[in-house]
Amino acid sequence: MQHESRLVRGLSRRGFLGLTAAGAAAALSGCAGGTGATAAGPPRPGGRLRAAFSGGGAAEVLDPHETDLYIEIARAKALFDKLADYGSDMSPQPRLAERWEPSRDLLTWRITLRQAAFHDGRPVRPADVLASFARIVEPGSSRRAKASLQVIDLPGSRELDDRTVEFRLKRPYAEFPNALATLGAYIVPEGTTGFDRPVGSGPFRFVSFQPGRNFVAARNPDHWDGAPHLDELEIVVTNDEAARVNALLGGQVEYAHDLTPTSARTHENTGRVQVHRLPLSNFHGLVMKTDRPPFDRPELRQAMFHLVNRDELVRSVLQGSGQLCNDLYGKGYRYYADALPQRAQDLDRARALIKQAGAEGLAIDFDTSDASTGLKEAALAIADQAGQAGLNLNVRLGNKDTYWSDIAKNGVLASYRSGAMPLESHISQRLLTTSTTNNTRWQRPDFDALYHEAQSTADDARREQLYFQMQDRLHREGGFLWWGVSDWIVASAPNVGGVDDRAPANTLDWARYDRVWLA
């Protein structure tokens, strides 16, 4: 996929942030003076909810195993189910799996399925589960869930009866339910070959889809977890954040995904919309590719760790609505290495490391995009900070429709952000030699061995020690730099009820429209 970019010229970081804030405020002009959002009242059936998301243009897919964008994930969870999903506390919650039971050696896991049916009436069977996972991990696949599921010995796994599947694993895996909950691990009917008119077991049934424009689904009255309140769900593409807000204010949509802190503050108490701050699930950072110049030099990666002013980024980019991170993912989650001292900007140390890496005065392309809020603002701010240490970061604005796939393949330095997932899933999907979304190209067999040892023990204390060792190494020489974490912000019309304010992005109750109603 060709990378489309242009150089961001003639605009300082402070000037850019000022224009962004002013634009957001202008988009919400006339909204001041309210007394708070109107309560939606008790649940009631009926109606069509229209939800606005940033999209990916003509490249968008309905194949649930190929989901990458938030809009694709929202559509997939409307149509399909997984065996498990992440709860608001990042623990795996049973979904199509009624329960699971490991063997003593953690090499065999027995899963009992719920009594659930696909939209065409066929029951969900162990054969569907095994076929879905085989499709995800098939040779040549780069599907997101592959890294987590390839631990399964599928030829050795089997159907025990019409509701029980036994997974045999290639190695012990203490946190195997996390793999069942991983993004993209959806169950489709055995024999599925296309998704023009997808059939799943989710709370909504497919009606229509126009890539880059809109998606419509209808209520599934027979869903195993109860029928949705809504008659229909429509997900529309609106890439510009101000346009999403305007559509909400103008009554064209009832739900707007991914707002900036500025927009949220502007409209919070107007009575025209409800703001939902999904707690500390929006991780902000950058990626450095460790397998190619110049960031194959660990000294230069360390220089980046020392030159970034995290306090300023939280103030300017997150508008003070976030918290500092310490270059590691998952602040506040289980196993997070909070014992490591918080890094602060040290320009003298950064300059010394840049000199040691032979990178004084080096110009480095820094990719960013409008694909998600805050990416561009962060890149401009970091480029200013790098200049103070003698490093010239050349900020390039990429194609928002293809940004995430572009930076996975191309470039050396890019803006990045992530929703929520357990620390174990972050490592298995992004930091192992076999990870299919390893955007930093961090491939270290000894690091892989620490992860595998952690998963082979049932001793929580020992596992915590191993996670600390992995994070300590990433903190010193990894390719991710996570500088902040903020709430994920969405908004809804005053007549919308059932939006869960406790659910981080990517978890079960985020974008869960089967529990939403219109007053």
pLDDT in tens, 261-277: 999 999 989 999 999 99
The verdict on residue 447 lying in a domain is yes
Q: Examine the pLDDT at 279 and tell me if it is beyond 90.
A: no
Question: In the predicted model, is pLDDT for residue 101 greater than 70?
Answer: yes
Q: Is residue 416 part of a domain?
A: yes
Q: What is the pLDDT of residue 23?
A: 35
Is the model's pLDDT at 296 over the cut of 80? yes
pLDDT grade, residue 6 (50/70/90)?
very low
At residue 327, what is the residue type? D
pLDDT at 22 over 70: no
- Give the range among 1-10, 129-138, 316-325, 413-422 with minimum mean pLDDT: 1-10
* Tokens found for residue 445: 């067999």
Per the document, the length of the chain is 519
According to DSSP, residue 33 is labeled: S
Is residue 459 included in any domain, yes or no?
yes
Residue 471 lies in a domain: yes
pLDDT at 15 over 50: no
> What is the domain-level CATH number for residue 462?
3.10.105.10
Distance CA 425, CA 105 (A): 21
Give residue 400's pLDDT band: very low, low, confident or very high (50, 70, 90): confident
348 domain residue, yes or no: yes
The rounded percent of the chain whose pLDDT value lies above 70 is 92
pLDDT for the residue numbered 35:
29
* Domain assignment of residue 392, given as a range: 280-487
Predicted local distance difference test score (pLDDT) of residue 280: 82
pLDDT digits (tens, 9 = 90+) for 220-265: 999 999 999 999 999 999 999 999 999 999 999 999 999 999 999 9
Give the model's pLDDT for residue 56. Answer: 86
Helix (H, G, I), strand (E, B) or coil at 445: helix
Q: Is 290 part of a structural domain of the chain?
A: yes
Would you place residue 371 in the very low, low, confident or very high pLDDT band (cuts 50, 70, 90)? confident
User: Whole-model pTM?
Assistant: 0.86
Average pLDDT of the chain, as a whole number: 91
Q: What is the pLDDT of residues 170-195, one digit of tens each?
A: 999 999 999 999 999 999 999 999 99
Q: What is the DSSP letter of 154?
A: G
Question: Tokens for 215?
Answer: 């998606």
Q: How confident is residue 26, by pLDDT bands cut at 50, 70 and 90?
A: very low
**Within-domain flag for 157:** no
Q: What is the pLDDT of residues 28-79, one digit of tens each?
A: 333 332 323 446 899 999 999 999 999 988 889 999 999 989 999 999 999 9
pLDDT of residue 171: 95
pLDDT (tens digit, 9 = 90+) per residue, 85-96? 999 999 999 999
Provide the pLDDT for residue 27: 33
Mean pLDDT over 380-394 rounds to 97
Is the pLDDT higher at 26 or at 315?
Answer: 315
Task: Tell me the torsion sign for CA atoms 254, 260, 265, 267.
Answer: negative
- Residue scoring higher pLDDT (28 or 345): 345
Q: According to DSSP H, which parts of 317-459 are helical? A: 347-356, 375-388, 403-409, 423-430, 445-456
Q: Average pLDDT, stretch 146-158? A: 96
- Cα angle: 245, vertex 67, 98; to 5 degrees: 105
SS3 state at 513? helix
- At 299, is the pLDDT very low, low, confident or very high (cuts 50, 70, 90)? very high
φ/ψ (deg, to 5) at 464: -65, -40
How far, in Å, CA of 265 to CA of 333, rounded? Answer: 27
Q: What is the pLDDT of residue 68?
A: 86
Closest CA to 343 of 366, 323, 365, 327: 327
Q: How many domains are contained in the chain?
A: 1
Whether the per-residue pLDDT at 16 is higher than 70: the answer is no
Q: How many Å apart are CA 497 and CA 509, to the nearest integer?
A: 13
